[in-house]
Amino acid sequence: MDKQLFSQAIAKYLAGVVLVGVLIFLPAGTLNFRNGWILMAILFVPMFCAGMVMLYKSPDLLRKRLNAKEKEMEQKTVVALSGLMFLAAFILAGLNYRFRWTTLPDAVIYISAGLFLLSYVLYAEVMRENAYLSRTIEVQEDQTVVDTGLYGIVRHPMYAATLLLFLSMPLVLGSLPSFAVMLAYIPIIVKRILNEEEVLEEGLKGYKEYKEKVRYRIIPFVW
């Protein structure tokens, strides 16, 4: 095991746990926020398990994702907007709990938690299928087009998984205001995908043919 990589991964993981916890529970004014703990559990327990699997089986992929930095200016804007979206959504969820602006039935909470976990499974399958998967938009050395499995259904299954992930998250927190904020992810991800496809068409051999073979980007028969 790469001890330096392990230390880096654990440091970023713990920083994420603390940051999300502060953003949710501080505005809520209490730690007695059940939905907040549900989200923390379904978000960070699978994340830890996936990280450990990657550490042992795909350390290069884990290292690449931990150290990823966007080079495209347009994508830096997308990342910044996404960060603001999450910041607003988590804070609103805490405030929504404190002031009881909106409430959702428990059935919605648990169904959303199930969808959240399903999206994690889809995300894991995407990472298994695509060894070139990166957090940044780039064409890597010796990269080839992946067109099997989920990539044979839609061109961007990772974004399909994150769309389900992000839209279920505010519902787990029981916050309709946060859900409204998270809807901003749709135009954000559309912008990212269109830019990514331009980069891939220009630099990845066979990508144009792949686009003709697989027509839909993230939702079959829709877009």
Residue 220 inside a domain? The answer is: no
Say what the pLDDT of residue 119 is: 93
- pLDDT category at 216 given cuts 50, 70, 90 is very high
Q: Which domain does 91 fall in, by range?
A: 3-213
- pLDDT category at 156 given cuts 50, 70, 90 is very high
Q: Give how far Cα 191 sits from Cα of 55, 112, 221, Å.
A: 31, 26, 19
Give mean pLDDT, residues 143-149. 83
Residue 196 inside a domain? The answer is: yes
Encode pLDDT of 53-78 as tens digits: 888 888 887 887 777 666 666 667 77
Is a pLDDT exceeding 70 seen at residue 137? no
Q: Give the count of domains, the chain.
A: 1
Give mean pLDDT, residues 93-100. 97
Phi, psi for residue 219 in degrees, rounded to 5: -125, 115
Of 1-5, 164-168, 213-217, give the lowest mean pLDDT range. 1-5
Residue pair 52/13 in contact (Cβ under 8 Å)? The answer is: no
Q: Is the pTM of this model over 0.95?
A: no
Say what the pLDDT of residue 76 is: 75
CB proximity list for 126: less than 8 A, separation 6 or greater: 133, 150, 157, 158, 161
Residue pair 94/28 in contact (Cβ under 8 Å)? The answer is: yes
Residue 192 inside a domain? The answer is: yes
Residue 223 inside a domain? The answer is: no
Question: What CATH number corresponds to the domain at position 91?
Answer: 1.20.120.1630
Residue 219 inside a domain? The answer is: no
Of 5-14, 79-88, 100-109, 133-142, give the lowest mean pLDDT range. 133-142
Encode pLDDT of 26-60 as tens digits: 999 999 999 999 999 999 999 998 888 888 888 88
